[in-house]
Amino acid sequence: MRPRAPSLRRRLVVQLIVLSAGLAVALYVAVRLGAERASEATLDGILGAATSTIAEELRSVEGGAELDLSPGTFSMLAAMGEERIFHRIDINGLPVTGYADLPLPPQAPTALQPVFYDAEYRDADLRLVAVARSLMIENRAAPV
């Protein structure tokens, strides 16, 4: 006696289930990757806006520089849901405030384009941004 071949109905149902499972996995991966990219772009936008605000609030005063951080800047960063904020401000390549050992960007930022980068710092993976501008300090342009 010959074994019976699976029915056409059973073969079609199995093929449909396998195809549906494959499409579900592909859809999950596509949505997940798209959501991660959108989330990163949004967070980078907020981080870039907060950093630009800090750079704009930095101004020259007699004998140096002054920074007035507005509460709005911290509100923007708090909206990201992070608990810790690290900063570093260098003038003429020397750190003047913040965390002097905070990792520097792999390439120098320009006045027009911030540089976003990832680094590990104090056992935490961070998303960082660097911006550049110039201030007149003691009648000379100083890169900040």
**Residue 124 confidence (pLDDT) above 90:** no
| pLDDT confidence band for 120 (50 / 70 / 90) | very high
Q: How far is 78 from 93, CA to CA, in rounded Å?
A: 29
pTM of the full predicted structure?
0.72
Domain positions in the chain are: 47-143
The predicted-structure confidence for 68-104, as pLDDT tens digits, reads as follows 878 878 787 777 776 678 888 888 888 888 899 999 9
| pLDDT confidence band for 20 (50 / 70 / 90) | very high
Lowest pLDDT segment from 13-17, 57-61, 115-119: 57-61
